[in-house]
Structure 1
Amino acid sequence: MRIKTRLSCPCGAGITGSDEDDLVEKTRSHLADVHPGMNYSRDEILFIAY
């Protein structure tokens, strides 16, 4: 299985993590700061990550 470390948010932000845990943490932080009320599970975040 390939480790996913990048995600492109529909708002145009690019999020990069050092590993999947870091990517999920940074994505959740981005969502809280820029898109309040939008909550995604770890699996949902990794589904759209690459």
Structure 2
Amino acid sequence: MAVRLNCPCGEFIEGADEDELVEKTQTHLAENHPGHEYTRDQILFLAY
């Protein structure tokens, strides 16, 4: 199960499970990268 992701900005995002990872990543994107929206599948593709 992929639960970690490194954003190109240098932010490390980690979730307890895939749902939490997706939620945290979408929150990070909204707060730090307005206009950059990714689907659940796109986020999980980048996760490890």
Same fold per TM (> 0.5)? yes
Q: Helix, strand or coil: the match of 2:13?
A: strand
Unaligned 5+ residue runs, structure 2?
none
Partner of 1:7: 5
With normalisation by structure 2, the TM-score equals 0.99
Q: Which runs of 4+ in 1 moved over 4 A?
A: none
Report the Cα offset of residue 5 of structure 1. 0.5
Unaligned 5+ residue runs, structure 1?
none
With normalisation by structure 1, the TM-score equals 0.95
Partner of 2:18: 20
> Larger Rg: 1 or 2?
1
Partner of 2:35: 37
Number of residues of Structure 1 aligned to a counterpart in Structure 2: 48
* % same residue: 62
